[in-house]
Amino acid sequence: MTVYFTADTHFGDHRTLNIHRRPFASVAEMDAAIVTGWNAVVGPADTVWHLGDVARRPSDVSDLLARLHGTKHLIRGNNDPPATGAAEGWASVRDYAELTLDGTALVLCHYPFSRWNGQHRRSINLHGHSHGKLKPVLCQFDVGVDPRGFRPVTLANLLDRSPRTEIHDPIIRRGTATA
């Protein structure tokens, strides 16, 4: 079992195409690329922590979760109404979590922190919300789909890459993403 992290999928949300300059010709193309990217790396026995801002319409969330591999945990974001968390398919739903993975303490929240629990002991803050637009901070990573190639990432992948590094996928280019 591998543990993955992601955020800011914003399934079904046309606003993200323009506001965050996502490289897709349509919302349907964006959604298909994110589902394809997720399922390309996440297996059925894996775990995914989604750090918020799942979908535009809460009524779509159960069906989306059924299409995505893995056991899914939600850390609520500012665009996740109660109905998103109530959707069938989440193993857990909360606003904040602390966990240890491979000996590394992690602090998970939708929002990036300027200070977090255990920061002076090298704990790592994983977050979404900023869509890759924040200046990198030591021991802090934006796990949102925008800076991470539109797919979930592992802790090992984050630690092996600079916070500014993006995963460039030849499949995902404006108007040419495939599903």
Q: What is the pLDDT of residues 124-179, one digit of tens each?
A: 999 999 888 888 888 999 999 999 999 999 999 999 864 443 433 433 333 444 43
Residue 12 lies in a domain: yes
- For residue 14, being part of any structural domain is answered with yes
Would residue 90 count as lying in a domain?
A: yes
Return the higher-pLDDT residue of 4 and 132. Answer: 4
Tokens, residue 159: 């630690």
Range of the domain at 108: 3-160
pLDDT tens-place string over residues 52-99: 999 999 999 999 999 999 999 999 999 999 999 999 999 999 999 999
Average pLDDT over residues 4-24: 92
How much is the pTM? 0.88
Residue 21, C-beta contacts closer than 8 angstroms, at least 6 positions apart: none
H/E stretch holding 105 reads: strand 104-109
What integer pLDDT is reported at residue 161 of this predicted model?
63
CA distance 63 to 141: 29
Q: Is residue 46 part of a domain?
A: yes
* pLDDT recorded at residue 167: 39
Interatomic CA distance for residues 159 and 115, integer angstroms? 19
* CATH number reported for the structural domain that contains residue 25 in this entry: 3.60.21.10
Is 175 among the domain residues? no
* Domains: count for the chain: 1
- Has residue 144 been placed in a domain? yes
* CB neighbour list of residue 155: distance below 8 Å, 6 or more residues apart: 3, 5, 101, 102, 104, 106, 124
Is 134 a domain residue? yes
pLDDT of residue 20: 82
